[in-house]
Amino acid sequence: MTRDESLLSALLASDRSTLDLVVATGLTERVCRYGLHHLIGVDYVWSPARGRYRLTGRGRAIATEIIPDAGQPAEASGMAPAPTQREAEEPRRRLFGRQR
């Protein structure tokens, strides 16, 4: 599955933050941001608030067309295993520094 397909699949379930997308897709933060920038440019994704992302009507149509398990969330489609608690916290540590 390509970067863009991974992001579209993760966004099918609901609006997501960058951190949510990192955890759901297994991509790095930088790769997620570049992918989101590209998807916004082609009008598949838009940002209703800073750091939150949502599929447009066009994005939802293309996602359901090209992704085989389009009705399922990214975790259920086998794209990325469900993270452990420590793995889920790891991107937050990278984004915001050491948590005390």
Instruction: Decide: 52 and 95 in contact? Cβ < 8 Å.
Output: no
**Per-residue pLDDT reduced to its tens digit, 17-74:** 999 999 999 999 999 999 999 999 999 999 999 999 999 999 999 898 887 665 555 4
| More confident: 23 or 79 | 23
The CATH code of the domain that includes 50 is: 1.10.10.10
Residue 88 inside a domain? The answer is: yes
Full domain range(s) for residue 85? 3-95
Q: Is the pLDDT of residue 6 over 60?
A: yes
Q: Is the pLDDT of residue 100 over 90?
A: no
Residue 70 inside a domain? The answer is: yes
Residue 100 inside a domain? The answer is: no
Residue 89 inside a domain? The answer is: yes
| More confident: 75 or 54 | 54
The helix (H) or strand (E) run that includes residue 47 is strand 45-49
Residue 56 inside a domain? The answer is: yes
**pLDDT, mean of residues 1-13:** 90
> Domains in the chain: how many in total?
1
Residue 58 inside a domain? The answer is: yes
